[in-house]
Structure 1
Amino acid sequence: MPRVRSVIPGRQRWDVPDVCGRPVVARLIESLLSEHEDVVEAHANPVTGRVLVRHDPAVPPQRIAGLVREAVTLTRLYARSHAVRTTASAAAANRPDAGHPGEPADPTRPRKLSAALVRGGAVAVAALACGKYCMALLARPLVSLGLAGAATAVVVRKAWSRSDRARQRTKDGTTPRHHPLRTIIGRHKRQLGMATLLSVLAQLAEMALYALVPSTVLLLAKGESATLAALGVAGATAQLSVLVGAALVACLAMAALGYGAGVAWRKLGQTVEDDWRTRTYAHVQQLAPADLESERTSRVSTVLAEDISQLGNFVGGHLHETVQLATSLAALIPVYLLLAPQIAWVAFAPVPLVTWLSFRFHERAVADHIASGEHRARLSSGMADNLQAHTTIKAACTEEYESTRIAELSREYREANVSTDRSAAAQAQTLRLAGCSALVGTLLLGGRAVLKGELASAAFGPLIELPGIALVRLTRLGGITDQYQRTLAALERVQYLNDLPVESGTEGCRLPAQQVSGDIELRKVTFAYPGRPPALRDASLTIAPGRTTGIVGATGSGKTTIAKLLLRFRHLDEGHVLLDGTDVRTLALPDLRHAIGYVSQEPFLFDSTIAENIRYGTFDATDEQLVEAARTAGAHAFVDALPDGYDTLVGERGAALSGGQKQRIALARTILRDPPVVVLDEATSAVDNETEAAIQHALQAFGTNRTMIVIAHRLSTVRSADRIYVLGSGGLVAEYGTHDELVARDGTYATLWRLQAGLRVPA
């Protein structure tokens, strides 16, 4: 049965065992969920067996959960009625479209095949029945062009309707005001126009070159061209020179314009990518911490990196191919209509077929690559696990077992790749065959028309190569369409991130840090994280200015939540949080956070030097001030002992330092800022007792006439505090007082103190 992993407004994650290792089932569940108007996006991963559903936040989570369970149930019914037998039967048949082990076969495949056979038979019978009449009708260029265009439009429309999951709809179901491409390009329309112009000219130069080559060959065979003679170029030698010179000019133009077009499109793609990434990252920096936490850092990073890169890659590459394809087809039509209208249908007829084959083969290639990627992921995961568990494997003497298991995974990956390569080779040759049919048809019918005197050889020469150029471009239509759909999905995720509300800026009452005394009060505060019971319920406490206040309690009692509400990282549901008698919600956010220094339990260090990490936020601090802050935080001794001292690189997230060293660097950063209020959230949890004693001694001097809030599990950290609050369930204050008062009261604090001190606890 499917099992929910996480539920937050607008998003749910599920574990669905039916999806694991079954790409077809994954695509079915995605399709079923995407059909519902309340679902914005659905993604099923056949490798991990997880399903992500994004939906309108206004929709109750229970409704989305029902949709997920309904989709899984329908998929199971489908699998039971259309299941394939085994992998062996598919291998024996040796068909490229054989199902994967345990996957349901495509239930529409027999019907599609029968329908295709019926339609093909009907067309063949109709062609035989009409005979010369049909040929005469097709010989009319406008008729053949219209039929080819209509058939191609039907194929493209059906292919796009299968792949498009209503990604262009907004959350309220309305149609966006601007076309997605217009949105992606944004203000860079002039660059787009220049790149498009260069692409069109380069493609026309290429087609001109391939039209001149056959004309030159015909000139050598015939001896002289009447067309060139009529233009005033007499003599075979002069005509040859003219054609060769024109071919050389076309070749140079093709190379120069092609280079310019490639550079222009890549530059446009990079510009679009840089513009979107810069604007989106600037927006992310203004998000409220609560919104950013609910979106998960990994997902935001993926949007900023992969999704925005998808926008740039599509503009820089696939949009270029689209312009080339459109130019090829647009140039092919007038050339045939002007030079050889009686055989134009030969060039137009393969267009719908090649279009259909391109989409069809691409859909199969996607399925093959999903299966191959699944086997690759399993192989990579197995090898990575073995390398990390090398000691465990040695201790269990399972080297041979693991070698056999990896060899089996490698064999499965190889077989999946062989199937994928076979399909890719079949695709290339089938599309080439379809494209070459236009060349053969042009040679046959055009040659007969030349022999009968119905078509001039000078007009026939340029037509030999042109259909092949257009049809080769057309074979990329399936890949271009797939990339376009991927780009639409990426654009939706990028826009969703840009639509998240930002924090209020400088609005609110000004409160310079120099005027802050540090009088803090929580007055009947209630707060709950989404989907959880209240972390604080009607909680009230007072923190005296210029004093040190400790806050202790069990895990989940709301200690860190108090710090987040004070800094407005989260917004309370009821009550008031006051700083110097003013509700923090009415204060200008920069002033509020400048007045409060915060050191978290898991401090973050940037991949730079120790000095740069301590100076972060106080960039103009002198070296003397920096060293003094490090001394106060108990960091100077170990930093000074390093070979590079304060110029030591700490690595990614401070990987080169221990947990205690990172906490001391983060503490020094806050001390250097010299804020009137300091919040230490388990800031000494990763240091030893000796270092903690040194830091506490230094903080006593630093905390003089300063409001210090010390949140801790280890009671020795808050022993010397002027007042200690003991929080119970729901953030309610169970006890408060000094350390000696609380121990003498023999309540919750006294029990915790005896446990941590190793003393006997009364029964």
Structure 2
Amino acid sequence: MATSTPQGSLYSFRRLFSYSKRHRQDFYLGGLFSFLNKTFDVAPEILIGIAIDMVANQEKSFLARFGIESVQHQLIVLSLLTLAIWAFESLFEYLHLLKWRGLAQSMQHELRVDAYSHLQKLDMSYFEDRSTGGLVSIINDDINQLERFLNSGMNSLIQVMTAVLLVGAVFFALAPNIALFAFLPVPVILWGAFYFQKRAAPLYAEVRERAGLIGARLANNISGIATIRSFASEAREEKAVSKDSQDYLTSNRNAIQISSAFNPLIRMAVLAGFLATFVIGGLMALRGELSVGSYGVLVFLTQRLLWPLTSLAETVDLFERAMASADRVLNLLSIPIGIEKPQSRTGFPQKTDIRFDDISFAYSNGLPILHHVQIQVPAGNTIAIVGPTGSGKSTITKLLLRFYQPTGGKILIGDHDITALNTQELRENIGLVSQDVFLFHGTIYENIAYGNPQATREEVLEAARQAYADEFINKLPQGLDTLIGERGQKLSGGQRQRISIARVILKNPKILILDEATSAVDNETEAVIQKSLNKISQNRTTIIIAHRLSTVTHADKIYVLSAGKISEEGSHEELLQKKNLYAQLWNLQLRHEIVHDEVKS
């Protein structure tokens, strides 16, 4: 569990301030407006003292020293000063609200966009052990927490410090001996603030962690609702969500218990300072050592100085929550980018032959997947990679797409090492049709057009026809404009697959990868999809990853992968004649299909 310290929280604030360097002027202006607003906010108490002095001493009052001897004139001057002070206080309140709230919105927007942009560039290995809900919690909830602090917390901190400085100056100017007693609670309050901050910091870090965990649980369960229902596990999952929610509630309560204890401490310290000013100042005024007007100023200013400190507990609470959130967001932004580092576009190779040259690969857990793999794919040819489940077939395509970096060897397109190519340019020229079809929540049209956002409606329709998707699209009430639900849940597996094929057709890539593209559909749907795949792979460099061998018999060359190594290679007929692993797999699948057909008949 993440923890924090007072230095950690201040360090987090410095990190946040450093990140926001493009908004430094807004920070400084917001601070200036908050300072001036508090300056004019304190001034009316001074005017009240001057007014009391004017009533008590009249022609001998404080204002009379400036040549304004008439009480009526003094009253007019006080009225004009009051009007000006209230006007300026209102003006700077408007300006500081405008500046801080505007800054909060701007930084919220930029942090969210920057965090999402950075997340998109992180290596795929980063996502292996992280949940979608946890990442969404950082990009959404934590950034919202920062926004709440910038909206009001920064202004509160600045105004409290301003009040201490300004009121302190007036106190020491009018009655230094009273000032000492009045300011005695301030160190206690500041000590309390740092003490409770130290106690609360790790608790709020835990709160943010718990919030991420419950977000992950909810996101996972909502996306897996069909599986939960199929196992009749609703009660079990409800109990798990309840436990996560209870853990979040408990961690919040622990933090609240600490922060809530701060407020009574401040109130008692405020009372002590007020009573000191009230009693000592009163005695001095009775003895004639302090004017009645000055006494009035001090009494009112004690309230103005100390009472706002009662909100310090709430501000510190907001600050701790925000800094715990800032750490999570800034930690995400500080994760180094590996494969996705920006590279200049040099143009995609004209020759699209592919060579996997002595490729080895292991995932971050150290488990080896591929061992010295050699594969040649001549331009315009179709090769297939087959083998038992877990042999590393799909890993090869992930390496070609640069989702991962080989631990040994290199991959070349033409004469170019793909590590020297711009990753965006590389992927723009590769089309992937996977068994795990991902469709976005939206219309069929939007999902097909994802392959080429500039395509016309006619081009989208043509892509659907080539993928044999128009057969079912035309039967839908809204046709291409039919909403398909999240992940295309309103469509069958075969329909989703055909839309994904149409999307790749519209992309018109130079290299095509078919990764178990028909493994999850029935024989009838497979025949339709296979017809479409055969058509789009013509005159295109194509790699087919398949478990079902009947789909690769037409390939120019077949590579058999076993335990991460190429065990044999050749055409379908050549491999059958060798009577090794490929022939065994073929005969096994053939017998399975015969038995399946007999059962159906």
> By the TM > 0.5 criterion, same fold?
yes
Q: 2:169 aligns with which of 334, 337, 341?
A: 334
SS state at 2:501 partner: helix
Within 2, Cα distance between the matches of 1:367 and 1:164?
A: 12
Distance 1:220 1:366 in 2: 52
Using the TM superposition, name which of 692-701 and 742-751 deviates more. Answer: 742-751
Residue 220 to residue 366, structure 1, CA distance change in 2 (3 Å): farther
Alpha-carbon distance in 2 for matches of 1:263, 1:478 = 22
Residue 464 of structure 1: aligned partner: 299
Which 5+ residue runs of structure 2 have no aligned equivalent?
595-601
Amino acid at match of 1:683: A
- Report if the CA contact (8 A) 1:270-1:312 is conserved: yes
Does the CA contact (< 8 Å) of 2:53 and 2:291 recur in 1? no
Deviation per CA, 1:332-374, whole angstroms, max 9, x where unpaired? 2211121112211022101011222334455666788899999
Deviation at 1:679, TM superposition (A): 0.4
Amino acid at match of 2:154: L
| CA shift in 2, pair 1:491/1:724, >3 Å | closer
| Offset at residue 725 of structure 1 (A) | 1.9
Moved more, 224-233 or 429-438: 224-233
Amino acid in structure 2 at the alignment position of 1:429? P
2:7 to 142, 145, 164: 164
Corresponding residue number in structure 2 for 1:559: 393
**Cα distance, 1:331 vs structure 2:** 0.4
Q: CA deviation at 1:425?
A: 6.2
**Cα 1:489–1:321, aligned 2, differ >3 Å: closer, same or farther?**
same
**C-alpha contact (below 8 Å) 1:597/1:679 kept by paired residues:** yes
Q: 1:634–1:533: structure 2 CA closer, same or farther, 3 Å change rule?
A: same
The answer to whether the 8 Å contact 1:167/1:489 transfers is no
Q: Which residue of 2 aligns with 1:62?
A: none
**Is residue 9–residue 323 contact of structure 2 (8 Å, CA) maintained in 1?**
no
Change (3 A) 1:584 1:431: closer
CA apart distance, 1:186: 0.6
> Which residue identity does 1:270 align to in structure 2?
Q
Q: Would the aligned equivalents of 2:49 and 2:293 in 1 still touch at CA under 8 Å? A: no
Which residue does 1:230 correspond to in 2?
A: 65
Quote how far apart the aligned CAs of 1:391 are.
9.7
The CA deviation at 1:560 is 1.3
SS state of the match for residue 544, structure 2? Answer: strand
CA contact (8 A) 2:467 2:501 kept: yes
Closer/same/farther in 2, CA of residues 452 and 655 from structure 1, 3 Å limit: farther
Q: Give 2:405's match in structure 1, choosing from 548, 566, 571.
A: 571
Q: Tell whether 2:39 aligns with 1:201.
A: no
Shift of 1:552: 1.4
Question: In the alignment, is the contact (CA less than 8 A) between 1:607 and 1:649 conserved in 2?
Answer: yes
Other-structure match for 1:109: none
Whether the aligned pair in 1 keeps the contact of 2:205 and 2:321 (CA below 8 Å) is no
| Mapping 1:24-103, distance limit 5 Å | 43=2
1:603 corresponds to which residue? 437
Question: Does the alignment pair 1:676 with 2:510?
Answer: yes
The range that moved more, 341-350 or 245-254, is 245-254
> What displacement does 1:448 show?
0.9
1:498-542 CA-to-partner distances (Å, cap 9, x unmatched) read: 66674342355x335xx33x4323232222222323211111122
- Residue in 1 that maps onto 2:155: 320
Q: Which has the higher contact order (CA 8 A, sep 6+)?
A: 2
Whole-angstrom CA distance in 1 between matches of 2:517 and 2:299: 78
Contact map agreement 1:213 1:247 (CA 8 A) in 2: no
Are 2:581 and 1:748 aligned? yes
Give, as a single letter, the amino acid of the residue that structure 1 aligns with 2:388: A
Equivalent residues in 2 for 1:203-602, closer than 5 Å: 203-213=38-48, 216=51, 226-234=61-69, 239-240=74-75, 242-290=77-125, 301-361=136-196, 427-475=262-310, 476=312, 478-479=316-317, 482-483=320-321, 485-486=323-324, 489-490=327-328, 492-497=330-335, 502-506=340-344, 510-511=347-348, 515-516=350-351, 518-602=352-436
Question: Could you say what secondary structure the match of 2:335 adopts?
Answer: helix
Give yes or no for contact 1:523–1:575 (8 Å, CA) kept in 2.
Answer: yes
| Residues 214, 426 of structure 1: alpha-carbon distance in 2 compared, 3 angstrom cutoff | farther
Residues 165, 234 of structure 1: alpha-carbon distance in 2 compared, 3 angstrom cutoff:
closer
TM-score, reference length from structure 2? 0.82
- Indicate the residue corresponding to 2:472 in structure 1: 638
* SS of the residue 2:432 aligns to: strand
Distance 2:260 2:437 in 1: 54
Where in structure 1 are there 5+ consecutive unaligned residues? 1-25, 27-42, 45-159, 170-177
* Counterpart check, 1:733 vs 2:571: no
> Per-residue displacement from partner, 1:71-124 (whole Å, max 9, x unpaired)?
xxxxxxxxxxxxxxxxxxxxxxxxxxxxxxxxxxxxxxxxxxxxxxxxxxxxxx
Which range moves more in the overlay, 308-317 or 666-675? 308-317
**Contact 1:307–1:493 (CA under 8 A) maintained in structure 2:** no
Counterpart contact for 2:134–2:213, Cα < 8 Å: no
RMSD (Å), alpha carbons: 4.4
- 1:417 is displaced (CA, Å) by 9.2
1:697 to 499, 512, 531: 531
Structure 1 residues 578, 415: closer, same or farther in 2, change over 3 A? closer
Inter-CA distance 483–743: structure 2 relative to 1 (3 Å threshold): same
How far 1:308 sits from its partner (Å)?
A: 4.4
Would you say the 8 A contact 1:549–1:710 is kept in 2?
yes
Query: Contact 1:303/1:493 (CA < 8 Å) preserved in 2?
Result: no
- Change in CA separation of 1:488 and 1:479 when aligned onto 2, cut-off 3 Å: same
The residue type paired with residue 733 of structure 1 is: I
CA contact (8 A) 1:506 1:590 kept: no
* Worse-matched range after superposition: 737-746 or 449-458: 737-746
CA–CA distance in structure 2, aligned partners of residues 554 and 407 of structure 1: 41
Deviations 1:617-652 (A, max 9, x none): 422323232222212223222222222221223344
